[in-house]
């Protein structure tokens, strides 16, 4: 009996062959760790819906920053958890607000080793939990919000942020912030546009992490999960407005959108493995249903394989340390 002449299994036969033949190789330097810093915290506070993730005190934050730098990841994305909120999100533009304090700490401690990134959005700071200023009808006022974002950008730049993460999904936000920064002499500060950010069910644990006050939902400004072309359009608009990096969020359930963006974008394309995606892996692993480390690695590989140049993930440091030892 004559067997097949073409045998693809030959290249999968041994660990050495599989390693040599591997097409996609996630690297520690392509990972970014999201971090939460809580105002008034005296110690790290575990987040129940995100096992292994905490709201940091300033002391635990410093220690975690150095661990991240030693692991060799690419950067950190900072989120502040303030003690007080109001309708305008005043804490976001207070130089002594928790996010700006944390930014100065990060730049001082590891700014020469990691790209320090800051979330530029009002949702953590508003008492209504929306990403912008509300008008008299209770809807998000796009243009009034851009004014607040411009103020935030200047304060975050002054605090030392290397990269501003524009996550609010307001029309024209990239152009407004680029113009504002350049006019203030801060052409050095880069912009990460959360271009294709979908109104996803997978953000739930994040809202626990930032103690969200959200009333209603964000479907009037975040993208409909059913829309692929709209994601591509938002990427194109942000590139045209001057984004230095564009992002797709969530990552795992939007790999088609990510691949579309990676195929055409002239700037780097990142993806955010969001809180719910991370929590699903943790929950299934805790029940013994999946191999936790393999699932983390497979999920990150899939995101890079789809075209991400970098991945925001809560598993960044753990994965980087493990890969270093492999």
Mean pLDDT value across residues 154-168: 97
Mean pLDDT value across residues 2-10: 93
Our answer to whether residue 197 is catalytic in this structure is yes
Place of tokens 């003690």: 83
Report pLDDT digits (tens) over 210-229. 777 766 677 788 999 999 99
d(CA 326, CA 315) in angstroms, rounded, equals 16
pLDDT of amino acid 205: 86
pLDDT of amino acid 129: 85
Global confidence as pTM: 0.95
Q: Which of 75, 162, 249, 312 is catalytic?
A: 249
CATH class entry, domain 27-325: alpha beta
Mean pLDDT value across residues 111-130: 94
Q: Which of 30, 128, 130, 197 is catalytic?
A: 197
Mean pLDDT value across residues 149-155: 98
Dihedral sign from CA coordinates of 212, 214, 219, 221:
negative
Q: What is the mean pLDDT of the chain?
A: 95
pLDDT of amino acid 207: 77
Which residue would you say has higher pLDDT here, 104 or 1? 104
d(CA 235, CA 131) in angstroms, rounded, equals 19
* Residue 207: closest CA among 296, 279, 104, 313: 279
Query: What would the two tokens of residue 66 be?
Result: 């150095």
pLDDT of amino acid 322: 96
Report pLDDT digits (tens) over 68-83. 999 999 999 999 999 9
222 phi/psi in degrees, rounded to 5: -85, 160
pLDDT of amino acid 325: 72
Q: Domain spans of the chain?
A: 27-325
pLDDT at 326 over 70: no
Our answer to whether residue 85 is catalytic in this structure is no
pLDDT at 97 over 90: yes
Report pLDDT digits (tens) over 250-281. 999 999 999 999 999 999 999 999 999 999 99
Which residue would you say has higher pLDDT here, 220 or 31? 31
Mean pLDDT value across residues 173-184: 98
| Least confident piece of the model among 58-62, 127-131, 169-173 | 127-131
Whether the CB-CB separation of 223 and 196 falls below 8 Å is answered with yes
pLDDT of amino acid 208: 79
* 3 state SS for the chain: CCCCCCCHHHHHCCHHHHHHHCCCCCCHHHEEEEEEEECCCCCCEECCCCCCCEEECHHHHHHHHHHHHHHCCCEEEEEEECCCCECCCHHHHCCCCHHHHHHHHHHHHHCCCCEEEEEECCCCCECCCCCCCECCCCCECHHHHHHHHHHHHHHHHHHCCCEEEECCCCCCHHHHHHHHHHHCCCCCCEEEEEEEEECCHHHHHHHHHCCCCCCCCCCCCCECCCCCHHHHHHHHHHHHHCCCEEEEECCHHHHHHHHHHHHHCCCCEEEECCHHHHHHHHHHHHCCCCCHHHHHHHHHHHHHHCCCCEEECCCHHHHHHHHHHC
Beta-strand pair 310-312/45-46: unpaired
Whether the CB-CB separation of 277 and 252 falls below 8 Å is answered with yes
């Amino acid at each position: 009996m004559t067997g097949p002449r073409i045998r693809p299994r030959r290249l999968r036969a041994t660990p050495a062959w599989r390693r040599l033949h591997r097409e996609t190789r996630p690297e520690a330097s392509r990972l970014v760790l999201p971090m939460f810093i809580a105002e008034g915290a005296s110690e790290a506070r575990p987040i129940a819906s995100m096992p292994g993730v905490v709201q940091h005190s300033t002391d635990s934050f410093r220690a975690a920053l150095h661990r991240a730098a030693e692991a060799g990841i690419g950067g950190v994305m900072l989120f502040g958890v303030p003690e007080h909120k109001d309708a305008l999100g005043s804490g976001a533009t207070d130089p002594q607000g928790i996010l700006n304090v944390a930014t100065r700490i990060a730049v001082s401690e590891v700014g020469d080793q990691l790209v320090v990134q800051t979330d530029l959005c009002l949702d953590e700071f508003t008492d209504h939990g929306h990403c912008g200023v509300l008008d008299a009808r209770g809807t998000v006022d796009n243009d009034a919000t851009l004014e607040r974002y411009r103020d935030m950008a200047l304060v975050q730049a002054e605090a030392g942020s290397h990269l501003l993460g524009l996550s609010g999904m307001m029309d024209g936000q990239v152009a407004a912030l680029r113009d504002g920064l350049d006019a203030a002499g801060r052409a050095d500060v880069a912009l990460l546009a959360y271009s294709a950010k979908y109104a996803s069910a997978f953000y739930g644990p994040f809202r626990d992490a930032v103690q969200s006050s959200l009333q209603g939902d964000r479907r009037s400004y975040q993208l409909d999960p059913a829309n692929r072309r709209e994601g591509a359009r938002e990427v194109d608009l942000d590139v045209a407005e001057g984004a230095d990096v564009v992002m797709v969020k969530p990552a795992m359930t939007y790999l088609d959108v990510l691949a579309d963006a990676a195929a055409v974008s002239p700037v780097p394309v990142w993806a955010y493995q969001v809180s719910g995606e991370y929590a699903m892996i943790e929950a299934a692993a805790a029940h013994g249903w999946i191999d936790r480390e393999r699932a983390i690695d497979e999920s990150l590989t899939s995101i890079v394989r789809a075209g991400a140049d970098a991945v925001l993930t809560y598993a960044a440091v753990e994965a980087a340390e493990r890969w270093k030892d492999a």
